[in-house]
Amino acid sequence: MRISVAQRRARLGVRHRLARRTASVEEAVASVVALHGTDPATVFLSAGARLESPGPEPVERALYENRTLVRMTGMRRTVFVVPAELVPVVHYSSALAVAKLERKKLLRFLAEGGGWDEAWAGEVEESVLRLLAESGEATAAELGALEPRLREQVRVAEGKPYEATQGVSTRLLGLMAMEGRLVRRGRPSGTWISGQVRWGVAPEMAELTVWEAQAELVRRWLAAFGPGTEGDVKWWTGWTLGDVRRALGSIGAVTVELDEGVGYVLPDDLDPVPAPPPWAALLPALDPTPMGWQGRDWYLPQAHRAELFDRSGNVGPTVWWDGEVVGGWAQRGDGEIVWRLLSDVGAEARSSIEAEVMGLASWLAGVKVTPRFRTPLERELSA
């Protein structure tokens, strides 16, 4: 069976809630499995692009009050926001393996930087857990005031152009979260674009085997992003090819023919998805839709990539029309949204994109968002 580019774009629009938006922020997040959370603003902008009534309030409510969404380190050592029920799946499928590598790096960092050993690190970690059990939640600075060892500083990459000083708290608290002992859960001070983290003791979670967790994560990825190739799944998860193939086999994924070769879908997902009416969207930097596949030719022309990605492969803000990236956008210093088309899309598309720009400007209400990872077109437009 062959799945065409047009069908893939139809699936993307419908399943990623860009052509048919939802009233539920939890459903918006689940539609793409997880939102990229390294840049705090991405979570709110990505959710807003998929909500019938966008704004920071529903996302804040889900993150900090109802806690139906959780911010955690997951695939490829990236911070994501995931539905609460997906936390064990991401933890056992991906985060624990990353944490094992990061603990080795941490111990080397401590030994070389301050002569501290594993026993020292363990004492500090136990102290952190005890303090958070008493206080409920705290920032790294608040914890450092109570546990001075967290305030120790280490010089890294000495003598190199990127030489810097790193605090013990940054590395240690992040690792404890990867290991499932801490959770980023508190409302930060300042506005919703604040990058401050409030830490708490992680609640207990259901136990899964690595294979169970990997199978479930791939099942959810295919439900949202399928069809996709082995390469797409390997890139998105950060796993070995063996892990990817084992997970695809365990869920009975079915092969289909794509322009770039063999792809996979779930066994009950062979029927075509009716194409929605043409749609426009403004997606933020690091949005999960443009970052969802390694093979991007079917929705992102090669000619656009140098302007829309940074050198590390992070996508900037993108303009979409009917399942294809057609341009980029940015905000100027005064908050004005500016955009540029990189493809000729016609009057109907321009009108729809202008409506999206007006809608985004309305709910941003003057808040200025600068992506953490800047791309050439975003820098040019915002200047």
pLDDT(159) > 90 = no
Q: pLDDT exceeding 70 applies to what percent of the chain?
A: 99
pLDDT tens digits, one per residue of 312-371: 999 999 999 999 999 999 999 999 999 999 999 999 999 999 999 999 999 999 899 999
Global pTM value: 0.94
H helices present in 226-267, as ranges: 230-237, 241-250
Three-state DSSP state, 117: coil
The residues, ordered by sequence, that sit 6+ positions from 59 with a Cβ below 8 Å of its Cβ are 25, 43, 44, 47, 48, 69, 192
CA distance 68 to 94: 20
Arithmetic mean of pLDDT over the chain: 95
pLDDT(295) > 90 = yes
Phi, psi values for residue 260, rounded to 5°:
-90, 5
pLDDT tens digits, one per residue of 273-286: 999 999 999 999 99
CA distance 26 to 354: 27
pLDDT(257) > 80 = yes
pLDDT(157) > 80 = no
E strand segments, the chain: 35-36, 69-73, 79-83, 138-139, 153-156, 164-167, 182-184, 198-201, 254-258, 261-265, 280-283, 318-321, 324-331, 337-341
pLDDT tens digits, one per residue of 189-241: 788 998 888 999 999 999 999 999 999 999 999 999 999 999 999 999 999 99
The confidence band for 164, taking pLDDT boundaries of 50, 70 and 90, is confident
Averaged pLDDT for residues 71-96: 96
Angstrom distances, CA of residue 258 to CA of 136, 218, 225: 50, 19, 14
339 beta partners: 329
Three-state DSSP state, 351: helix
The confidence band for 114, taking pLDDT boundaries of 50, 70 and 90, is confident
The residues, ordered by sequence, that sit 6+ positions from 188 with a Cβ below 8 Å of its Cβ are 40, 194, 195, 196, 197, 198
Give 44's Cβ-side CA count (13 Å radius). 22
The confidence band for 55, taking pLDDT boundaries of 50, 70 and 90, is very high
Q: At what angle do helices 241-250 and 210-225 cross, to 10 degrees?
A: 80
- Whether residue 169 contacts residue 140, with contact meaning beta carbons closer than 8 Å, is answered with yes
- Whether residue 38 contacts residue 286, with contact meaning beta carbons closer than 8 Å, is answered with yes
Residue-level pLDDT at 187: 86
